[in-house]
Amino acid sequence: MAKITVPVHKGEVLTATVADLTYEGNGVVKVDNYPVFVPYVLPGEQAEIKITKVTAKFAWGELQQLLTKSPDRVEINDARYLKTGIAPLGILSYPAQLKFKQHQIEELLKKAHLDELKVAPTMGMDQPYHYRNKAQVPVKYMRGQLQTGFYKRGSHDLVPIEDFYIQDPKIDQAILVVRDLLRKYNIRAYDERTGRGCIRTVMVRRGYYSHEIMVVLVTNTKQLPHAEEIAAGIVSGVPEVKSIVQNVNTKRTNKLLGLENHTLWGSDTIHDQLLGIDFTISPLSFYQVNPQQTEKLYQTAIAAAGLDGTQTVIDAYCGIGTISLAVAKHAKKVYGVEIVPAAIEDAKQNAKVNQIDNAEFVVGKAEEQMAKWQKEGLKPDVLIVDPPRKGLDETLIDAAGKMAPAKIIYVSCNPATLVRDLQRFASVGYHVVKPIQPVDQFPQTPHVESVVVMERA
Ligand SMILES: C[S@@+](CC[C@H](N)C(=O)[O-])C[C@H]1O[C@@H](n2cnc3c(N)ncnc32)[C@H](O)[C@@H]1O
């Protein structure tokens, strides 16, 4: 095999101008068209870069010295937010972050030869910090005691952190109360190398409107020593707590939560509201993490659906029924499908509590259920899909084509799979009729959510 020559070598220091920013928020420097990825630099900046890793197709570099600064650069007061996955875009001013997200989608469309599609400016937040209503914090024994924090990007090295910058500060305070109790009762942190130890993760959720707090202690063992004392300590240290749950995860996996929950104190669930509808949230259910932006996202999707109370709507990947129930007010009938049984139980309960009787929920894989509905002759006027990052299964798109709804609303959390799926929808007769609307659900990170409206050609 011919030896591949690359234009840089490990350890080399070069001076270069940053050409671009990747979807993950890393700077890109080109050496004879060969890309070098460099964290913490921005397009247009000149920098001294040390090459740290070389492969046949690309290299990684480390910023040594910044020679010129981009006007979009902002100072971030704690470098740990950049080094962890907390705020990888933290050096980019917020208006520039919003443009970056719009540009990300435009670039992907261009690569897919869909450049005729327009992308609207990203809908941002007034206060793009402290927005998350949920934290999942790893626990580790280090520096002589149990620590909570966040992993360094691309690793499982814990960086102890007390102010998480993008989380609701009340959640940060609750984590510290839990951490101190775990220390006080000498609870052993889980060690993923040996598979030993007890506490793996602390999860905290807080209702944006309700202010109800749920604390979930994820353990590697069936028993949590001093469970009663710990629960009592949380009750006295976290005044808004409504639910304390032990989740057992004995598997040696990267999955954070197991399937077994034991309520240690209070209720099994908490509540919150979205667009005036009350939602029950269980430890395992998916619930959007940025409630303020979620309301904007759903309002955009609902307005795009153009409902007048006469339509039948399918909400595929419905979670606990948030979109379905918000839509039900404006539709004749809504069908929701979701893979997690507990989420569907919550969805049904949510419908009851809100006295919504025109929504029906089914547990199942959206792709299988859509094909089943299609065979049964269900003819929705509007199909809403809100899949996870991997996007839609082709079976679902085929079934959608056969069901022929007048409108399809695609809520996407991954522009790459969105663009792929838009091409597939085109092949079953759907085209995009409005500019794609990005909504910033995750300020300070490169993630972007978007709403796309399609109609039959
Ligand atoms: C991005 S979330 C959207 C949830 C909901 N629409 C919301 O906004 O809260 C995607 C949901 O799809 C569910 N899911 C993942 N794969 C699925 C599949 N094959 N079929 C049905 N649901 C699935 C997940 O459990 C999750 O609740």
pLDDT digits (tens, 9 = 90+) for 175-190: 999 999 999 999 999 9
Sheet with 20-21, strands from edge to edge, namely: 13-17, 46-54, 59-66, 34-38, 27-31, 20-21
**Where do the structural domains in the chain lie, given as residue ranges?**
13-73, 134-274, 290-456
Residue nearest to atom 27 of ligand 1 (CA): 319
CATH of domain 290-456: 3.40.50.150
- CATH topology for 13-73 is OB fold (Dihydrolipoamide Acetyltransferase, E2P) (2.40.50)
Of residues 273 and 457, which shows the higher confidence score?
273
Question: Is the pTM above the cut of 0.95?
Answer: no
pLDDT at 206: 98
pLDDT tens-digit readout, 208-240: 999 999 999 999 999 999 999 999 999 999 999
- The second-level CATH assignment, the architecture, of 134-274 is Beta Barrel (2.40)
What pLDDT is stored for residue 239 in this prediction?
A: 96
Judge whether 46 is annotated as a binding position: no
Q: Which of 413, 418, 436, 454 is catalytic?
A: 413
Quick one: average pLDDT of 387-403?
A: 96
Inform me whether the pLDDT recorded for 2 exceeds 70: no
Q: Is 386 annotated as a binding residue?
A: yes
Domains 13-73 and 134-274 share a fold: yes
* Per-residue confidence (pLDDT) for residue 83, from 0 to 100: 83
Which residue has better confidence, 4 or 152? Answer: 152
Confidence category of residue 205, pLDDT binned at 50, 70, 90: very high
Q: Is 116 among the annotated ligand-binding positions?
A: no
| Strand partners of residue 119 | 436
Q: What is the pLDDT of residue 27?
A: 95
- 19-35 pLDDT, tens per residue? 999 988 899 999 999 99
- Confidence label for 153 from pLDDT (cuts 50, 70 and 90): confident
Least confident of 136-140, 175-179, 251-255: 251-255
CA of 391 to the centre of ligand 1 (A): 10
Whether residue 352 contacts residue 318, with contact meaning beta carbons closer than 8 Å, is answered with no
Mean pLDDT of the chain: 95
Ligand 1 atom nearest to CA at 286: 27
Question: Which atom of ligand 1 is found nearest the CA of 337?
Answer: 21
- For this structure, is 318 an active site residue? no
Q: Whose CA is nearest to atom 26 of ligand 1?
A: 319
Nearest CA to ligand 1 atom 4: 319
Amino acid 444: pLDDT: 95
C-alpha of residue 195 to centroid of ligand 1, in Å: 30
